A and B are shown apart, each in its own frame.
Chain A
Amino acid sequence: MNRNEKTNVKKTALYGLIIAAALVLSWIESQIPPFFPIPGMKIGLTNIIVVLTLYKLGSSSAMAANVLRIALVSMLFGGIMSMLYSLAGGMLSTVVMILLKKTGKFKTVTVSIAGGISHNIGQILVAMLALNTSGIAWYLAALWFTGMASGTLIGILSNELIKRLPDKLFT
């Protein structure tokens, strides 16, 4: 096996591991009862994986992990509608996080907060289209702040993981 093949095998295994971890986190999250009376409000545990991938492997890997996880999670636990919601939120938040990280001026937690908010904004935009209603301003306000809260939590957790997981694992 030459070096190139070796890297490819390692990459395949690594991505498999990342997606598997994302699936496990999705499952854990689906077991948490919806204790807040707002549809679409989640902690977003799988975003840990996206943030981690973004910082350890770069923008395109983060986007790939994000799209793959959404596709798989929707097929396993949701449907087409939930896939649209997740894609809108997931893509927007990943793009926002990639851009903010690229500026190099923000901490992981801040990047994650921006990701949390934009995730919810993306979902609201789809909800507005799907339900043909613009009168969900209350919903927007609620999700704006819950996005900040969950983004903070995810940011802190991701930051610890980024610090603690050895870089060797990702090369």
Chain B
Amino acid sequence: MHKKNVSYDVILIAVFMLIGGLIIGFILLSSHKGKSVEVRIDGKIQGYYSLNENRTVNISSATGENILVIENGQAYMKDADCPDKLCVRQGSVSKDGQSIICLPHKVVVEVTGNESEKKQNSTDIIVK
């Protein structure tokens, strides 16, 4: 059996593909439809908004504004005053664990599942 340098490369790239595939598989398997979105600025929870209720939320952080729209069970950033507007382009989220992230404003909008109401009620006793 003769060894070639190529084989090591192929093995490593195959391992990379496999890990990437596993990450996606894990996400697909573990994603359920979320119930509400949690809005955080700089890690601090600002509030929860149900996905079943259409509404517009203005998120003002120290560095700017983001406009979050909840419509037909999905949430998306309608507008933001950051220069790159990447959060607007991230599209809509609806599945548990999905998030819209606005790095310049440190805003995270994350879809949460069934536990969100429990979390909301017990915020007082969460120690960080």
Contacts and interface: CB of A to CB of B under 8 A. Distances in A.
A88 B42 CA distance: 19
B73 interface: no
B99 A133 contact: yes
A137 B110 CA distance: 11
Interface string A124-146: 00010011110111111100110
A37 B40 CA distance: 20
Given A141-B20, A141-B23, A141-B27, A135 B97 contact: yes
Contacts of B13: 110, 113
Contacts of A137: 23, 26-27, 97
Interface stretch (B52-60, B64-72, B101-109, B114-122): B101-109
Interface residues of A, number: 28
A105 B110 contact: no
A102 B19 CA distance: 23
Interface in B1-32: 5-6, 8-9, 12-13, 16-17, 19-20, 23-24, 26-27
A148 interface: yes
**Chain A interface mostly helix, strand, loop or mixed?**
helix
A131 B43 contact: yes
Interface in A6-59: 34, 37-40
A170 interface: no
Interface of A: 34, 37-40, 105-107, 109-110, 113-114, 117, 127, 130-133, 135-141, 144-145, 148
Interface of B: 5-6, 8-9, 12-13, 16-17, 19-20, 23-24, 26-27, 40, 42-43, 84, 86-87, 89-91, 97-99, 101, 103, 106, 108, 110
5 contacts: A34-B86, A106-B9, A135-B99, A137-B23, A141-B27
Given A106-B12, A133-B108, A137-B27, 8 more contacts: A39-B84, A40-B103, A110-B8, A131-B108, A135-B99, A138-B97, A145-B20, A148-B20
